[in-house]
Copies of this chain bind each other. A is one copy, B any other.
Amino acid sequence: MTFEILSTDSNSKARKGIIQTEHGFIKTPIFMPVGTIATVKSVHQRELAEEIKADIILGNTYHLYLRPETDVLEQAGGLHKFMNWPKNILTDSGGYQVYSLADNRKITEEGVKFKSHIENVMDTQRKIGADIIMAFDECPPYPCDYSYAKKSMHMTHRWLDRCFNRFNETEPLYGHEQSLFPIVQGSTYKNLRQESAKYITDKDAPGNAIGGLSVGEPNEHMYEMTDIVTDILPKEKPRYLMGVGTPEDLLENIALGVDMFDCVMPTRNARNGMLFTSQGRINIKNLKWKYDFSPIDEEGTTWVDHEYSRAYVRHLFSVNELLAKQICSIHNLGFYLKLVREAAQHIENGDFSVWKPKMVEQLKQRL
């Protein structure tokens, strides 16, 4: 995996770049649609590639481990082949879904079961065959007291060492390279975030992630933590802010030097009738759209934006038709991907810091 920075913004830490893997280019900043169990809900793979123009999607290791089960993925030749997705895949470690300090106090770090679990998670990600695989970490809740946050962070660091050990003593299974990204933790404590960012930086991984944010803390705390961490993480490596977020969050964090994002928001909200547009949010179920035969989003880049009217999509929701969810999922993902492409363009043009605050205000509107 390689990463090249193509442009930087002179008034912020924003940068435009390109990651290359054996499954193609990932133009950054990038948003990764969430495809938990080998499908981005209600969206066809060819729509993801051709309409939404996603360079990479995310899968969830723990869910995939349960179903279709790892042996099915192995026999298929990996997740790419199983779901017929030729572009990039990133898998999370499923860490927080399986274990947490809070829920597993009985399980000591030295316990046999637990000891092997971290290694199993690495092996499972080998079997899934994602291009980018994530270290096994604990994502502490918010709010989180200092002593818990510190203890959790140190455990995540020790787990990280074991992740790299296992990763380095195993090989990719399907003939393409896999890259392991470590994850910065430390809750909302500056000194912990700094300590964690330094620990992670020392791993010299091909990319680095920031975890434990967007878990309920005020946006300002998120931005503050990101800012502190991106001051430490190496500039020449891509930075991935996990689980973020709203369109506004993407732009604010791009300004802070983040390159990669993922979130269920565009797809989950789509299924509930909430559309993101560059003019603001739309609740398409609202009665006000009943006779509005204008396109869903005149500025949209996918075919659904122009082929279907607001009145039509509202009708589909009112009669509980599946096509409603399909249309809105394509629209919202298309919008997120368009937004990050626009951000990249403005970074290249040198006017990102002029464009960004104006766009953030627009995005917050309710139509």
The verdict on A142 contacting chain B, using a C-beta distance below 8 Å, is no
Contact between A38 and B315, CB atoms less than 8 A apart:
yes
A68 contact set on B, CB distance < 8 A: 290, 311, 315, 318
- Asked whether A75 is an interface residue with its Cβ less than 8 Å from the other chain, the reply is yes
A76-B293, A311-B72, A318-B67 known; A323-B84 Cβ under 8 A: no
- Residue in contact with A45 in the complex, picked from B39, B291, B293, B307, CB distance below 8 Å: B307
Given contacts A72-B290, A72-B291, A291-B72, contact A82 B319 (CB under 8 A): no
| Size bracket of the A interface | 35 or more
Tell me, in angstroms, the Cα distance from A291 to B44 when the chains sit together.
Answer: 21
Asked if A83 and B41 sit within 8 Å, CB to CB, the answer is no
Choose one: B63, B82, B290, B326; the contact of A44 (CB below 8 Å): B326
The reply to whether A321 and B46 form a contact with Cβ atoms under 8 Å apart is: no
Q: CB-CB < 8 A to A312: which residues of B?
A: 38, 82-84
A316 at interface, CB cutoff 8 A: yes
Q: Which one of B319, B325, B327 lies within 8 Å of A322 (CB-CB)?
A: B325
Q: A-side binding surface: helix, strand, loop or mixed?
A: helix
User: What residues of B have a CB within 8 angstroms of the CB of A309 in the complex?
Assistant: 76, 82, 84
Contact status of A72 and B307, CB under 8 A, knowing A321-B41, A322-B326: no
A254: which B residues are within 8 A, CB to CB? Answer: none
What is the distance, in angstroms, from A103's C-beta to the closest C-beta of chain B? 24
Mask of A205-216 contacts with B, CB within 8 angstroms, 1/0: 000000000000
Q: Is A43 an interface residue (CB 8 A)?
A: yes
The listed residue (B39, B75, B76, B81) touching A323 by CB distance below 8 A is B39
- Asked if B72 contacts A322 (CB within 8 A), the reply is no
Q: Does A308 contact B (CB under 8 A)?
A: yes
| Contact present for A72 and B323 (CB under 8 Å) | no
In the assembled complex, the Cα of A330 lies from the Cα of B41 at a distance in Å of: 17
Residues on the B chain within 8 Å of A327, using CB: 44
Query: Which residue in chain B gives the minimum CB-CB distance to A320?
Result: B37
B307 engages A75 (CB within 8 Å)? no
Q: Which residue of B lies closest to A45 (CB)?
A: B307
- CB of B321 within 8 A of CB of A39, answer yes
Q: Which B-chain residue is minimally distant from A291 (CB atoms)?
A: B75
| A303 within 8 Å of B (CB atoms) | yes
Cβ of A301 < 8 Å from any Cβ of B?
A: no
In the complex, which residues 78-94 of chain A have their Cβ closer than 8 Å to any Cβ of chain B?
A: 81-84
A82 to B307, CA, bound (A): 10
| Residues of B with C-beta under 8 A to A290 | 68, 72
Give Cα A321–Cα B271 distance, bound, in whole angstroms: 13
Measured between beta carbons, the chain B residues less than 8 angstroms from A307 are 45-46, 84
**3 nearest A-B residue pairs (beta carbon):** A68-B315, A42-B322, A39-B323
Contacts A38-B315, A68-B290, A75-B291 known; list 20 others, CB within 8 Å: A37-B315, A37-B319, A38-B312, A38-B316, A39-B316, A39-B323, A41-B321, A44-B304, A44-B323, A44-B326, A67-B315, A67-B318, A68-B318, A72-B315, A75-B293, A76-B293, A81-B293, A82-B312, A84-B308, A322-B325
24 pairs, CB–CB < 8 Å, chain A vs chain B: A37-B315, A37-B319, A38-B312, A38-B315, A38-B316, A39-B316, A39-B321, A42-B321, A42-B323, A42-B326, A44-B304, A44-B323, A45-B307, A67-B315, A67-B319, A68-B290, A68-B315, A72-B291, A75-B293, A82-B293, A82-B311, A82-B315, A83-B312, A322-B325
